[in-house]
Amino acid sequence: MVRLTELSRQIRAAPGPDRYSLATRLWSGRSVRNAVYTPVKEALCSMAPGRERCMYCGDNHGTDVDHFEPVARNPLRTFDWLNHLLACSNCNSHQKRDRFPCDADGRPLLIDPTAEDPADHLFLSLSVGEYKALSDKGARTIEVCDLNRALLARGRMQARRVVAMALRGWRDDRDAGDAAGMAEKVLTIREQPFADVCQAMLRQATAPGADVIFSDSPDLIALLCSEPLREALLA
């Protein structure tokens, strides 16, 4: 990513008040689009969970490269690789926009998925498909990204049902010695939207209270704790 360094150097060399306009001009210019935007987006797509999903909602196709810290706030991070996230146009343009809440000391109050584990700040309630905040940062992230909008909560509930079906299918295939069937079930889970739901199920199945969380489907606990399955899903 030599090109990112060079572009960052150009912005740093400009006088402070000119940096924002230079950064936006460079970011949207055609040559930068070909040389930087496209490779950055391809790299982010290859890292995204499931099929190139938005890193905020986990639902829609990631169509945009979002600046975690907005360019308007810090033009120097326009071409900072760690400031780039794959987002859908809804989350990028309508939810998050240029919002970037900070605490009294100027520390960001949004979870940075490149540097932090969202599970430290957010707990997914599998029974309603909504996130609960575990910290101020979690609360602001839910609010800014509107993570509990009804459509997402419904999608997460659906994801939970699909994962449960695929897990039970995997168990049946395993018992029948059908390796191809097992691989297919793993692929079904890995490729579907709301990868966060399966991750939450894997985490909560091994945590205290699992028998309460999975009281309507206790058979899932043993499956979610199964080593070969965890390896396949967490790899």
Give me the residues that bind Zn ion (CB under 5 A), please. 54, 56-57, 60, 88, 91
CB of 68 to Zn ion, least distance (A): 14
Indicate the residue among 66 and 69 with the shorter CB distance to Zn ion.
66
Indicate the residue among 54 and 201 with the shorter CB distance to Zn ion.
54
Indicate the residue among 54 and 229 with the shorter CB distance to Zn ion.
54
CB of 61 to Zn ion, least distance (A): 9
Query: How is residue 68 written in tokens?
Result: 């975690």
CB of 18 to Zn ion, least distance (A): 32
Tell me if 216 sits within 8 A of 175, measured CB to CB: no
Amino acid at 221: I
d(CA 119, CA 96): 20
**Apex 123 CA angle, 121 and 125, nearest 5:** 160
CB of 34 to Zn ion, least distance (A): 25
Indicate the residue among 8 and 92 with the shorter CB distance to Zn ion.
92
CB of 144 to Zn ion, least distance (A): 12
Residue partners of 75: CB distance under 8 A and separation at least 6: 11, 19, 20, 22, 23, 24
Indicate the residue among 195 and 210 with the shorter CB distance to Zn ion.
195
d(CA 161, CA 35): 42
In a 3-state reduction of DSSP, which class is residue 65?
strand
Indicate the residue among 61 and 203 with the shorter CB distance to Zn ion.
61
CB of 209 to Zn ion, least distance (A): 30
Nearest to 199 by CA among 147, 159, 142: 159
Question: What is the separation of C-alpha 203 from the centre of its chain, rounded to a whole number of angstroms?
Answer: 16
Quote the strand ranges of 68-177, DSSP E. Answer: 84-87, 122-125, 130-133
